Structure formats: structure tokens, C-alpha cells
Structure 1
Amino acid sequence: MDTELLKTLVAIVDHGSFQRAAMQTFRTPSAISMQMKRLEEHIGAELFTKQGREQVLTEKGQQLVGYARQILQLQESALQSIVGPKQNAFINLGCPNDYVSNLLVVIMSAMESLLPSIQFRIRTGTSIELRELMDKGEIDLALVTRTPGSDEGLTLFQDKGVWVAKKDFDWQSLSPLPLALYESGCKFHSSAIDGFQKKGMPYQLYCVTSNLTLIESLLMAEKAISAIASISVNDALEIIESDLLPNLPSVEIAFTRSASAPDWLTVEWVESVIENVIESTGM
């Protein structure tokens, strides 16, 4: 089988759509569709079926994706074995703002342990923004939040949303309750607003931002409470356990690799980074 066709198949699955796979591989969506038609003709089975407006994998498609990953990883391993480790590697790395303080340096250190001469260009933003930068070819590897059970990328760990405030802040005396939340694309934002509306509890969107430092500053000034990932909680804040507040969802943190990433940035290498991060943090 043509490994380029297998790469496209995996890109569709990892990035969620023909459209994003097209951007990742610098092709048109029609070219991606034609590639998948060629692959279907080659194996004699349908790989995708229409479900509403989306194309989803058939049972045969799911089976082939598993083999495709093994074939591509074996190809990557063979190249690494022959060529050897990359020297003076450069990586465009994306990280959500809320993971910069407590996670990014750990990830960079894990990468340095594998490639001591590695150099970084870091881009930060929301997971949505980082995916857009990846689609433009401006990021090689990004850490993103995803819905649990998603096929996107390689799982680093599972986290949960928590309510936080400055220690000893009497937030329960405030009505409406002031909130400092991430942008509306954040799952914690939508869950918080929906939860308050269902509870009928008065709230005020005091500030909406993608900047964790600003949220922390507002919390320390006792201007609001917030909903953030548990890994982002610093020592000056406390997690609020209260039935008055809406439940927040769990999220998975994953590395998603651009289809246009440099050859040395293999899935196997990313898995080694994940192993190092888990070992150093005890996640």
C-alpha cells in the first residue's frame, strides 16, 4: 500500500475532518477525497460513510487505521535506525496558555533529554488557535485539550475542571457571583454558564480572557472566582468544593502532530517525550 495514502488516512482521523487533513498536508479537500477513493479501490472496501454532514470511519476503516499507524511507525523507526538521532533539531511547539506555568517547562526538559541540542519556538494561545496555526503549517507539535475518548493526537493525561478562588475569599456573600473565565471556546466556560443558568443562580461575567495570568491576578484581587484545569492551580489559590457551583467536565490533554512536521519528529519520538513527562511528574 502507498504509505502516502496511509498518512492521509491517519491525518483525517487525527485531525477530525477531510478539511483539516487537507490543510495539514497542503492539498485541497477534493484531492484528499480522491486519495481515499484510491485507497478504497486498492483494498476493495469502503473506509468512510456519511453520518449527517460528517464522514465517519466504517468498521473496515477503523481496522485499517490501526494497521496504518503500525506501518507508518515501523517506517519511522527504520528511518531513525538508519539515519540516527537528529542533531541541532528545531521545533515549533504550541502550548495552551493555561499549561505554560506548570507543564510547558517539564515538556521542554523531557524533549531536551532526548535531543540535548534541540531549539524551541513557542507559540501560546487557546487549543482552537493552536489548531489553526498547525493547519497553516506554523506549528509542528501542539499540546491541546480534547474531549475524552477523542482520536485526536497522543494522550498525555486526563485532567478535570475545578472552581478556584483566592484562599479565604468570601465568594458566597456576592450576588451576582463574578466570574473570570476563559474564552467561550473553552469547555469550562460553556459548562459553567450552562450550569449557572440551570441552577438559576445569579452570576456576572466579570472578565473573559485567554490569559491565565490575568485570571490569577483577578482572583488574587478578590474580583472573581474562576473555572480552570486542576493542573493550572497554583499555591496561592484554593479549589472550591461546593454544591452551589456547577459541575465541570473532564478533559484530555494530548499532543497533536502536524502532518507537515519535520521527518525527525516521529510519533515514536513524541511517545518517548510523553513517557519522560509522566516519569518526571508522576501523572
Structure 2
Amino acid sequence: MKQNLFDTQALRPLAAVVDAGGFTAAAAGLCKTQAAVSAAIAGLERAAGCRLLQRSRQGCRPTPAGEMVVGYARRILSLLDEAAVALETAKPAGTLRLGVPDEGVAGLVASVVEGLARDCPQGLVDLRCDLSAGLEAALMAGELDAVVVVREPGSARGELVFRDRLVWCVPPGREPHLSRPLPVALFAEGCRTRPMVLAALASAGIAWREVCRASHIAGLTAMAGRGLAVTALARRTVPQGWRVLSSGEGGLPVLPDYEAALILPPRPTPLARRLAGLLLGPSRPERAAPPQDPFLR
């Protein structure tokens, strides 16, 4: 037999025709034209020097020679599919340029780095911390391979990683939330949770004054920790010893949820795809923040 008998471009259509019982159904299943499938089978039959399919009004069925070739074809195609899966799941090397807001380092990034270290021991995570808008701009400029950002209200951009609730919190033994105008410590302009907090205060008609602001959670809690102000954080990133205010305490409004999303470029790298697998899993349901999830702004 000629070597090109085992051209996989022809073997797959052959198996498909036998499975489907005809050229039309096989072509539809392969997303090819019927003419292309017919040409592939004709090439196989020329190489084999005999008929591989018996055509009739009832459809197509393999000849004895066809039965033999189809058996080998299935084994070859199975091995090729297995090789493709092995390559896809091979441990990729290289650098993952990952962008997250500052608060993501403590929880989300820690779990990601641990997962990548396990699955991709040759991979390197190059981390950039910034506001969400800055991270999205860097991704579009090709400076990052993947970003996790807080969505703007009403946006469906990216894939949902988790949803969490903002809460009011105060340092231990302090009650700044009882003062008016309300002293608040806020994240800097450009933070996507900042307008959520201010809108909630405006809707409740609460007068407020900004005592301090910071672009990083460590700076914000350090300043607010002097007892000068109340601040809003994700529930699971409230510093140890701080008190989360109960609903309506001090007349403060309930704060909204926010959504953290993963955004990849149109052609993600293997490490970026592995990151998506770690964060999103095989399915992509809406999910509440697990205990280790960080506050992302």
C-alpha cells in the first residue's frame, strides 16, 4: 500500500462516513462540504487500489477492505487525539505576566501561584499590581497576559471569578461611624469600589468627609486604624481584630456586591489558559467569594 493511505486528513472522513452511514451527514459532522469528503474517500480508494465503501440508496457501508482500513483508522485517530490532549495538558514553561489589584496578592494570587507551581513547575509569575482600569489598559497594550479586575457596575466584561460584598468596618475599640459628618477612609480616585461607597452614602443622605485615601489596602488600613475613620472593605479582608458593623449600625447604608472577573487576550498563552482553568474550573457558574478570596478593587 502507498504511504499516503494513512493520511489523517482522509482517515477521519472515512471513519465519519462509516459512522454516519452517508456522505451528507458525515460532511455536516465534520463541518466540511460533501465534495471535500468525497474527494478524501476517493483519494484513499485510489491509494488502496480497491473500493472501501459500498454506496447504495440506503447509504454507505464499508466493504471487507474498508472494514479493515476503518479499524486501523480508528486506532490511528485515537492515538492522534491522545497526543493532542497530551500536548494541550503538557506542563508549559515561560512567564505569566499577571495583573491584579494590590489586595489580590494576599489571597487570589497566593492560590494561583501555588496552583501554577504544582501544574507548571517551569513557569514564572511576573506580577503587576495596579487599579483595575490601569490593568485593563496594560492588557490591551500587550504588556500583560491576563488580568483579574473588578467590573464596573453593569459590566459583563471577562469571566466572573467571584462575587463578594463590601462591608463597613472600624478599628477595635473605636466608633468613628457615630460621628457626623461621617469620617471615611477611601481608596484613591480610579478605584471601582470608591463610587459604590459614595453612591451608597449619597442615597442614604449621610454627610461625610474624607479623612484619608490610599491606593493600597495596607496604607488605607494603617491610617484608618488610628481610629480616625470608618472604611469599606471586602468582608474577608477586614484586618484581624477590626469590627464589621452590623446592618444599619450607626445609620450607615448597606453596601453593594462587587464582581471580580478574569480577562484574557484573544490569543492567550498556555500559562494564561492554565490560569483560567485554576480560577474558573471546567464550568463557569456565578460564585460567591470563598474564604480565601481577596478584596479586589
With the length of structure 1 as denominator, give the TM-score of the two structures.
0.63
8 Å CA contact retained: 1:164, 1:226: yes
8 Å CA contact retained: 1:127, 1:145: yes
User: 1:40: which partner in 2?
Assistant: none
* Compared CA separation, residues 252 and 200, structure 1 to 2 (3 A): closer
Per the TM alignment, residue 233 of structure 1 is displaced from its structure 2 partner at its CA by: 1.8
* Structure 2 SS opposite 1:265: helix
User: 1:212: which partner in 2?
Assistant: 217
Does residue 222 of structure 1 match 2:251? no
* Structure 1 SS opposite 2:193: helix
Per the TM alignment, residue 260 of structure 1 is displaced from its structure 2 partner at its CA by: 5.0
Does residue 178 of structure 1 match 2:186? no
* Structure 2 SS opposite 1:222: helix
- Structure 1 gaps, min length 5: 1-76
For 1:271, the aligned partner's letter is G
Distance of 1:210 and 1:78 partners within structure 2: 48
Per the TM alignment, residue 183 of structure 1 is displaced from its structure 2 partner at its CA by: 2.7
For 2:166, the aligned partner's letter is G
8 Å CA contact retained: 1:128, 1:185: yes
Deviations 1:197-229 (A, max 9, x none): 333322111123221111110122112111122
Count of aligned pairs: 204
Deviations 1:163-194 (A, max 9, x none): 11112211244222211111343343213222
For 2:241, the aligned partner's letter is A
* Compared CA separation, residues 79 and 192, structure 1 to 2 (3 A): same
- Structure 2 gaps, min length 5: 1-81
Specify the structure having the higher radius of gyration (Cα): 2
Q: What value does the CA root-mean-square deviation take over the aligned residues?
A: 2.9
Aligned positions of 1:190-201 closer than 5 A: 190-201=195-206
Per the TM alignment, residue 235 of structure 1 is displaced from its structure 2 partner at its CA by: 1.4
Per the TM alignment, residue 268 of structure 1 is displaced from its structure 2 partner at its CA by: 6.2
Distance of 1:281 and 1:172 partners within structure 2: 26
Distance of 1:223 and 1:202 partners within structure 2: 16
Distance of 1:198 and 1:153 partners within structure 2: 29
8 Å CA contact retained: 1:192, 1:246: no
For 2:107, the aligned partner's letter is N
Distance of 1:79 and 1:103 partners within structure 2: 31
For 2:117, the aligned partner's letter is E
With the length of structure 2 as denominator, give the TM-score of the two structures.
0.60
Aligned positions of 1:258-269 closer than 5 A: 258-262=265-269, 264-265=270-271, 267=273
* Compared CA separation, residues 281 and 220, structure 1 to 2 (3 A): closer
User: 1:165: which partner in 2?
Assistant: 170
Distance of 2:252 and 2:99 partners within structure 1: 32
- The sequence identity of aligned pairs, in percent, is 23
For 1:132, the aligned partner's letter is A
